[in-house]
Amino acid sequence: MPFTASLAELQVEASCPICLEYLRDPVTTDCGHNFCGSCIHQCWEDLQDTLPCPVCLHHCPDRNLKRNMQLGHMTGIVKQLLARRSKRKPREEKALLLGRRL
């Protein structure tokens, strides 16, 4: 079960705290939180001077956030891992029913 728990933790870390989906075009705020680029900009759409982080309310000085390409790549890897696991699981269950181990 430790692998499953670790994979679930990775899945959470690869998700946007605003839309709760996998990060798309991730950006990082000055306080270190990550969001989909479109989510954070939509969140700040009607705001003028004060741009609070939606997680910790830290004041972000401007709308120009840095893209986090490494996190974007890692999110893609997490998606691939989960897709492979879901494809492999039915085979494992079938093998268990047949009394074999893969």
Q: What is the pTM of this model?
A: 0.77
Q: How far apart are CA 33 and CA 59, in angstroms?
A: 12
Count other C-beta atoms under 10 Å from residue 25's C-beta.
13
Count other C-beta atoms under 10 Å from residue 17's C-beta.
16
pLDDT exceeds 80 at position 91: no
Contacts (Cβ under 8 Å, ≥6 apart) of 23: 14, 15, 16, 34, 35, 36, 71, 72, 75
pLDDT exceeds 50 at position 102: no
Position 38, amino acid = S
Mean pLDDT (whole number) for 41-61: 94
- Check residue 35 and give its pLDDT: 98
pLDDT exceeds 90 at position 41: yes
Mean pLDDT of the chain, nearest integer: 86
pLDDT exceeds 90 at position 97: no
Task: State in words which class domain 2-97 has.
Answer: alpha beta
Q: How far apart are CA 100 and CA 95, in angstroms?
A: 5
Domain ranges in the chain?
2-97
Residue 34, beta-bridge partner list: 28
